């Protein structure tokens, strides 16, 4: 009991956990209140994702730099991965694709925009080391390209290409996962010093009381089970909720699911920016994007062969391709700079807002 209290004491937005039992109660007791169940499941995932990230960091702090870095890098988007896997099993390929798109544009525009805005309201001009930022942007751009190239070709020459695109998606996934592994070698082995900059210090500051390995692993397992459960409610209710709200699957995937899955990154990035630790804020936002593109997306493609009723391919809808392309372009222009103000944040948020409204307007 004391352990649970001490665990909860450090988790962000912990009071939202009350949504877990309520969501379950509503879902099973009132099967017709699908919209309410959907909203509650979304709300419940937010603190769970935060807690999962928190426990991962505690475990990483225990097991040494190299394995810790690997854990952080691999499980950083675990909540999104779980939601996507549950959706994949239910055959909702369009929502899975949309949530990948939404994670990318959400991290680059919404999370980074909010970080710049709230950081900039406290500090007139915020600077960040461009070398780290540029390395991240380069990786992000390349990851985006790798996902986009097949999609674009598919959009241009749709009819015939799609037929081949499952095998094709498998090969590309293997390449991306290979690049991801090499990126870990790069950032955890050969060029550690480029990335460790201020982040170790900050990481220590953040870690707070250390957890035992058992506690950390226990929390991770328990929270994972809860996220799977909430994701199943979310997936079971999403169709009804969409219809009730007059939303398309694409909008729900890009805006709702992605925002819910990235809420933890969101709050971390904003808090760090307000403390004027821009490197960490950026690394959370951009690093998460890269991870989605190089690790989560290809992993889902490969997993879909075994767990989904139909295989997932890299052929994204044209609208989503353009959104990712634009977001990457805008982010790469702004990060080259090494400086930000509150207005940089306003600009990014405005682009996100326009994109969200655009997606809202795209018919099913």
Q: Give whichever of 229 and 342 is closer to a second copy, judged by the CB atom.
A: 342
User: How long is the chain?
Assistant: 364
Q: Give whichever of 87 and 286 is closer to a second copy, judged by the CB atom.
A: 286
Q: Give whichever of 152 and 274 is closer to a second copy, judged by the CB atom.
A: 152
Q: Give the Cα separation of 263 and 257 in Å (integer).
A: 10
Q: Give whichever of 53 and 150 is closer to a second copy, judged by the CB atom.
A: 150
Structure token pair of residue 74: 């691999």
283 lines the binding site for a second copy (CB under 8 A)? no
358 lines the binding site for a second copy (CB under 8 A)? yes
301 lines the binding site for a second copy (CB under 8 A)? no
Q: Give the Cα separation of 147 and 172 in Å (integer).
A: 8
Q: Give whichever of 268 and 340 is closer to a second copy, judged by the CB atom.
A: 340
363 lines the binding site for a second copy (CB under 8 A)? yes
Burial (CB count within 10 angstroms: exposed 0-12, middle 13-18, buried 19+), residue 207: middle
Structure token pair of residue 266: 């969101």
Q: Give whichever of 41 and 155 is closer to a second copy, judged by the CB atom.
A: 155
Q: By CB under 8 A, which span of 59-67, 172-180, 226-234, 296-304 interacts with a second copy?
A: 172-180
How far apart are CB 130 and a second copy at their closest, in Å? 8
Enclosing H/E stretch for 339: strand 339-340
110 lines the binding site for a second copy (CB under 8 A)? no
175 lines the binding site for a second copy (CB under 8 A)? yes
Contact with a second copy (CB under 8 A): which of 25, 64, 178, 309? 178
127-146 positions binding a second copy, by CB under 8 A: 131, 134-135, 137-139, 141-142, 145-146
331-350 positions binding a second copy, by CB under 8 A: 332-334, 336-337, 339, 341-344, 346-348, 350
For residue 358, give Cα distances in angstroms to 52, 250, 264, 347.
32, 11, 25, 16
Q: Which of 56, 33, 112, 105 is nearest to 272 (CA)?
A: 112
Where does the chain have alpha helices with state H? 2-10, 19-29, 34-62, 65-75, 78-89, 93-105, 112-122, 130-156, 158-185, 192-196, 199-207, 213-245, 249-251, 258-261, 263-274, 278-291, 297-307, 318-335, 342-361
164 lines the binding site for a second copy (CB under 8 A)? yes
Say if CB 63 and CB 75 are below 8 A apart: no
Q: Give whichever of 177 and 215 is closer to a second copy, judged by the CB atom.
A: 177
361 lines the binding site for a second copy (CB under 8 A)? yes
DSSP state at residue 18 = G
Tell the residue number behind the tokens 């089970």, with chain if given: 225
Q: By CB under 8 A, which span of 38-46, 71-79, 90-98, 155-163 interacts with a second copy?
A: 155-163
How far apart are CB 323 and a second copy at their closest, in Å? 7
For residue 18, give Cα distances in angstroms to 4, 14, 48, 134.
14, 8, 11, 41
For residue 184, give Cα distances in angstroms to 61, 131, 179.
17, 18, 9
Q: Give whichever of 83 and 137 is closer to a second copy, judged by the CB atom.
A: 137
Cα atoms in the 13 Å half-sphere on the side-chain side of 31:
1
Number of chain positions touching a second copy (CB under 8 A): 65
362 lines the binding site for a second copy (CB under 8 A)? yes
Contact with a second copy (CB under 8 A): which of 37, 50, 69, 150? 150
Contact residues toward a second copy (CB under 8 A) are 124-125, 131, 134-135, 137-139, 141-142, 145-146, 148-150, 152-153, 156-157, 160-161, 164-165, 168, 171-172, 175-176, 178-179, 182-183, 186, 190-191, 318-319, 322-323, 326, 329-330, 332-334, 336-337, 339, 341-344, 346-348, 350-351, 353-355, 357-358, 361-363
């Amino acid at each position: 009991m004391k352990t649970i209290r001490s665990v909860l004491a450090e988790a962000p937005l912990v009071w939202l956990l009350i949504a877990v039992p309520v969501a379950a109660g509503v879902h099973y007791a009132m099967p017709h209140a699908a919209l309410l169940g959907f909203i509650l499941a979304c709300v419940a995932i937010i603190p769970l994702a935060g807690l999962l990230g928190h426990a991962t960091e505690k475990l990483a702090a225990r097991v040494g730099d190299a394995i810790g870095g690997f854990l952080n890098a691999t499980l950083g988007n675990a909540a999104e991965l779980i939601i996507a896997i549950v959706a994949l099993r239910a055959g909702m390929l369009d929502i899975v694709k949309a949530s990948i798109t939404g994670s990318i544009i959400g991290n680059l525009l919404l999370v980074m925009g909010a970080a710049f805005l709230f950081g900039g309201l406290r500090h007139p001009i915020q600077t960040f080391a461009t070398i780290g930022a540029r390395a991240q942007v380069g990786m992000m751009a390349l990851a985006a390209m790798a996902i986009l190239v097949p999609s674009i070709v598919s959009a241009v020459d749709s009819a015939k290409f799609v037929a081949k695109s499952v095998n094709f998606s498998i090969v590309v996934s293997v390449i991306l996962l290979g690049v991801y592994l090499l990126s870990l070698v790069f950032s955890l082995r050969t060029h550690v010093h480029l990335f460790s900059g201020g982040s170790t210090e900050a990481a220590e500051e953040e870690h707070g009381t250390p957890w035992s390995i058992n506690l950390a692993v226990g929390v991770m397992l328990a929270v994972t089970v809860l996220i799977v459960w909430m994701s199943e409610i979310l997936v079971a209710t999403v169709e009804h909720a969409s219809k009730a709200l007059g939303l398309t699957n694409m909008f729900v995937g890009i805006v709702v699911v992605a925002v819910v899955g990235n809420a933890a990154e969101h709050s971390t990035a904003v808090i760090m920016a307000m403390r004027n630790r821009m490197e960490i804020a950026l690394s959370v936002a951009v690093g998460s994007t890269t991870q989605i593109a190089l690790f989560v997306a290809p992993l889902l493609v490969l997993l879909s062969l075994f767990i989904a009723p139909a295989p997932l391919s890299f052929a994204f809808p044209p609208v989503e391709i353009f959104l990712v392309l634009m977001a990457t372009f805008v982010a790469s222009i702004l990060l080259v700079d090494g400086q930000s103000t509150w207005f940089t944040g306003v600009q990014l948020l405005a682009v996100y807002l326009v994109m969200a409204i655009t997606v809202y307007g795209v018919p099913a």
